[in-house]
């Protein structure tokens, strides 16, 4: 009788132990494991959407402009060179920008993914980012294009009233952006870029962005209570499965 009770007691203890471990693992498990890249013209609300995503999915938001400001703030030789380049309106060299992003992405808090704001700015940087996330054992990025007409951007910038938001400066920046973004869209066009109407309120835009991330992630198995193997990449999401204001950019569509 004692042996029988001991066996039952042992079984109960083991069951309780594994249940406890399972609950603890579930509590610590990531809500989302992946990478979201936000692209869009100045004033499209990328930083706002990055913060919304960061709060919901508990992964860091990495701002390219903040990386540059931090390096300039160090007053290092690189920082001084960056300051001169930025003040003269030059685009930061690919190798410099890639190095700054790599250093940030390799930190521990990006283990389950991150949100990228303001990078890449060239197709070469987009290819480098794909390599970085795969080296990090993360799925290829979900790319969200926040689309805003130039006139809306200019109106938003006028409301901000900053010195570098003057109409002529902004028109030049917008023209440069349109030229820069096209090769990136061409590189990422195969079912990986999702268009969102960013003229709406920040909350409405986030509703569309969140829908894209959630649906694309579910189809790829990225919303999971356990870490996934690095072979899980986002699947193509059909246009019909998305919200009316969030559509996939396919080959040849613009």
Q: What is the CATH number of the domain that holds 125?
A: 3.40.50.300
Is the CA virtual torsion 188, 194, 200, 202 positive or negative? negative
- What are the helix (H) ranges across the chain? 2-28, 46-57, 64-73, 77-87, 94-105, 123-135, 150-160, 167-187, 202-220
- Domains contained in the chain, number: 1
- Cβ count within 10 A of residue 49: 26
In a domain, 42, yes or no: yes
Pairing of strands 193-197, 246-248: antiparallel
Q: Which residue has the higher pLDDT, 50 or 173?
A: 50
Neighbours of 48 (CB within 10 A): 17
| Ranges 14-18, 64-68, 91-95: which has the least confidence | 14-18
pLDDT at 115 over 80: yes
Quick check: 29 pLDDT over 80? no
pLDDT confidence of 173, banded at 50, 70, 90? Answer: confident
pLDDT band at 89 (very low <50, low <70, confident <90, very high): confident
Residue 9, pLDDT score? 55
The answer to whether 192 touches 141, Cβ cutoff 8 Å, is: yes
Q: What confidence category does residue 230 fall into, taking pLDDT thresholds of 50, 70 and 90? A: very low
Q: Residue 17 pLDDT > 90, yes or no?
A: no
Containing domain of residue 39, as a range? 31-64+112-248
Average pLDDT over every residue of 191-217: 92
Q: What is the pTM of this model?
A: 0.75
Spatial separation of the C-alpha atoms in residues 171 and 230, rounded to whole Å:
42
pLDDT band at 254 (very low <50, low <70, confident <90, very high): very low
Contact criterion met (CB below 8 Å) for 222 and 32: yes
Residue 92 placed within a domain: no
Looking at the domain assignment, is residue 2 inside a domain?
no
pLDDT in the model for residue 172: 87
Q: Is residue 192 part of a domain?
A: yes
């Amino acid at each position: 009788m004692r042996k029988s009770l001991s066996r039952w007691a042992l079984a109960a203890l083991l069951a309780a132990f594994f249940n406890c471990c399972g609950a603890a693992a579930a509590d610590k498990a990531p809500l989302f494991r992946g990478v979201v890249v936000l692209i869009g013209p100045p004033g499209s609300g990328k930083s706002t959407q990055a913060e919304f995503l960061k709060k919901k999915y508990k992964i860091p938001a990495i701002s390219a402009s903040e990386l540059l400001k931090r390096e300039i703030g160090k007053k290092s030789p690189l920082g001084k060179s960056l300051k001169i380049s930025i003040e003269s309106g030059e685009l930061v060299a690919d190798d410099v920008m890639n190095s700054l992003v790599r250093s940030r992405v390799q930190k521990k808090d990006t283990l389950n993914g991150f949100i990228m704001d303001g990078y890449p700015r060239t197709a070469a940087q987009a290819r480098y980012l794909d390599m970085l996330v795969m080296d990090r054992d993360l799925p290829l990025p979900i790319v969200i294009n926040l689309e805003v007409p130039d006139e809306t951007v200019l109106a938003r910038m006028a409301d901000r009233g900053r010195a570098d938001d003057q109409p002529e400066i902004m028109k030049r920046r917008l023209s440069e952006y349109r030229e820069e973004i096209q090769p990136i869209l061409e590189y990422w066009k195969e079912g990986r870029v999702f268009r969102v109407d960013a003229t709406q309120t920040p909350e409405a835009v986030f509703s569309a962005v969140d829908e894209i991330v959630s649906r694309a992630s579910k189809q790829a198995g990225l919303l999971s209570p356990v870490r996934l193997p690095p072979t899980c990449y986002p699947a193509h999401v059909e246009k019909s499965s998305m919200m009316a204001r969030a559509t996939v950019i396919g080959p040849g569509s613009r």
